[in-house]
Amino acid sequence: MMLSFGEAVRRFYGNYVNAEGRAQRSAYWWVQLYQLILIVVFCIIILMAEGGLSLIEATATMTTFDEFTVQWADLGFSGKAATYCILIFSLVNFLPGIMLNIRRFHDLDRTGWLVLFFFIVSNLPVIGIIASLVNIVWFIFPGTEGPNKYGPDPLGPNTDVFG
């Protein structure tokens, strides 16, 4: 059974520190969509705020923190509020995001330590882009059918792994 958008987000926050078990594709991709939508909304607010566009344009050429602080001072209240919202949202979602990735690897019958591997490798120049793409493609594949060493199949009949 494919999870609904709301159910996937509910399970994401309900399993805040749970690395046990498995997460099906819909649990992973609905959460990615949810996070993308919120970040895009906050970015639009930043762009629409007074000084928002000039901040974004200047970011590409900034070389010192002082240049950033000058642009930040010109950013309107709504832009600053949206920036803080992105920061808080990112911090709140950091740990459950790691746990969801671990459970997604478990669904593929792989160790959760791959999350750490992909995190490290994705920060390397050039190789990081390839590693990130491999990780995304890997998560597109369905999990193993039936139970595996990480738990029962979340798509199996009458399974409510994270109830």
End-to-end CA distance of the chain: 14
- Answer with the residue of higher pLDDT: 69 or 85: 85
Q: What is the pTM of this model?
A: 0.86
- pLDDT at residue 162 is higher than 80: no
Amino acid identity, residue 49?
A
**pLDDT tens sequence across 101-135:** 999 999 999 999 999 999 999 999 999 999 999 99
| Spatial separation of the C-alpha atoms in residues 41 and 43, rounded to whole Å | 5
- pLDDT at residue 4 is higher than 50: yes
